[in-house]
């Protein structure tokens, strides 16, 4: 179905980030393996320092004191998550202003969707000032899709992260589109690896049961993902947490039933095109 869907001015940090980028390009094996835990530890430290500096600016703009303990990042940044966040900045996939607001052509709005700009790629929230941790994962994952998996920028769309109902009331924060604009994959963000395990269990239960409402569901936390799948029918559902992932290829049966085939990861664009060519 059709989906209706400022770089930092700190010179010292920019120089460090550029050096990290050069080191990353010298290690081609790293570019082949997402969420492997073998990424450059320097990127993690650099992003922590960058976020801390931006958080201080954010608090100053709000006339709020910065806690003595500094910026809390929980869960901690994964090495590869940090690296691809920084690479996304370097490759202009997104830009950040001094308040931590992201601007990107990857941020989209579907007709009828109430898009709160601050909810898409917004790194900080106020009252009290704090980090919106999921935004780091969202921006880093979008960068992985483009820079590592080979999807074109116009094939990636980021949507608002809503605490209760999920993005755009469907529960996914990124969609991957085919070149013709059809929905190919939904990308769901989670905070921890155990949440991925629960998603797999809940989605399998909903898929076996078939069509049912939220009120009838015994797994309300992830019912929106089931609704997203049977309504929009993506070929893949990829869920990502810091340092972990799970992916399913989906088969749609009668009565709203789903069959899930677990994969190691979301296929790269080149693998999809090769498979289509062979077919």
Rounded Cα distance, 195 and 222, in Å: 10
Domain ranges of the chain: 11-278
pLDDT tens string 46-83: 999 999 999 999 998 888 888 778 899 999 999 999 99
Whole-number pLDDT of residue 213 = 94
Structure tokens of 92?
């202009």
- Alpha helices per DSSP H over the chain: 11-25, 41-61, 79-90, 133-147, 193-209, 223-232, 269-278
Question: Bigger pLDDT: 168 or 161?
Answer: 161
| pLDDT tens readout for residues 209-267 | 999 999 999 999 999 999 999 999 999 999 999 999 999 999 999 999 999 999 989 99
- pLDDT for the residue numbered 167: 40
**Sign, Cα dihedral of 219, 221, 223, 225:** negative
Q: What is the DSSP letter of 66?
A: P
pTM for this entry: 0.80
Which DSSP category does 171 fall into? Answer: T
Say whether 123 sits in a helix, a strand or coil.
coil
3-state SS class at 274? helix
Q: Does 89 score more than 90 pLDDT?
A: yes
Which has the higher per-residue pLDDT, 30 or 171? 171
d(CA 70, CA 57): 12
pLDDT of residue 31: 29
Task: Find the range with the poorest average confidence among 10-24, 180-194, 204-218, 264-278.
Answer: 10-24
Residue 274: the pLDDT is 66
Provide mean pLDDT across the span 154-169.
Answer: 64
Per-residue pLDDT band for 270 (boundaries 50, 70, 90) equals confident
For the beta carbon of residue 261, count every other beta carbon within 10 angstroms. 10
Q: Cβ distance 169 to 110 under 8 Å? A: no
106-151 confidence digits (pLDDT tens):
987 655 554 444 457 789 988 888 999 999 999 999 999 999 999 9
More confident residue, 33 or 237: 237
Phi, psi of 166 (to 5 degrees): 85, 175
Q: CB count, 10 Å around CB of 42?
A: 18
User: What pLDDT score does 21 carry?
Assistant: 41
Q: Which residue has the higher pLDDT, 157 or 68?
A: 157
pLDDT at res. 276: 56
Residue 170 confidence (pLDDT) = 54
Could you identify the residue written with the tokens 């996939």?
A: 93
Q: Which residues of 43-78 are buried (b: 16+ CB within 10 A; e: fewer)?
A: bbebbbebbebbbeebbeeeeeeeeeeebebeeebb
């Amino acid at each position: 179905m059709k989906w209706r869907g400022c770089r930092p001015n700190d010179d010292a940090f920019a120089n460090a980030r550029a050096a990290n980028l050069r080191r990353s390009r010298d290690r081609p094996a790293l570019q082949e393996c997402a969420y492997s835990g073998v990424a450059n530890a320097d990127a993690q430290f650099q992003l922590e320092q960058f976020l801390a500096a931006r958080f201080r600016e954010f608090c100053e703009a709000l006339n709020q004191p910065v806690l003595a303990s500094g910026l809390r990042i929980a869960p901690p940044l994964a090495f590869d998550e940090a690296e691809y966040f920084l690479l996304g900045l370097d490759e202009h996939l997104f830009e950040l202003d001094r308040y931590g607001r992201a601007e990107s052509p990857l941020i989209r709005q579907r007709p009828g969707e109430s898009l709160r700009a601050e909810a898409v790629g917004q790194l900080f929230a106020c009252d009290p000032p704090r980090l919106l941790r999921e935004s780091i994962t969202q921006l880093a994952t979008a960068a992985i899709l483009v820079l590592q998996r080979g999807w074109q920028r116009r094939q990636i769309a980021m949507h608002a992260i809503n605490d209760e109902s999920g993005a755009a009331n469907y529960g996914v924060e990124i969609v991957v589109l085919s070149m013709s604009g059809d929905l190919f994959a939904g990308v769901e963000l989670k905070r921890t690896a155990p949440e991925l395990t629960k998603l797999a269990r809940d989605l399998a239960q909903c898929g076996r049961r078939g069509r049912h409402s939220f009120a009838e569901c015994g797994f309300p936390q992830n019912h929106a993902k089931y609704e997203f799948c049977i309504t929009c029918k993506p070929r893949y559902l990829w869920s990502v947490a810091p340092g972990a992932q799970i992916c399913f290829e989906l088969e749609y049966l009668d009565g709203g039933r789903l069959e899930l085939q677990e994969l190691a990861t979301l296929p790269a664009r080149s693998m999809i095109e090769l498979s289509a060519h062979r077919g």
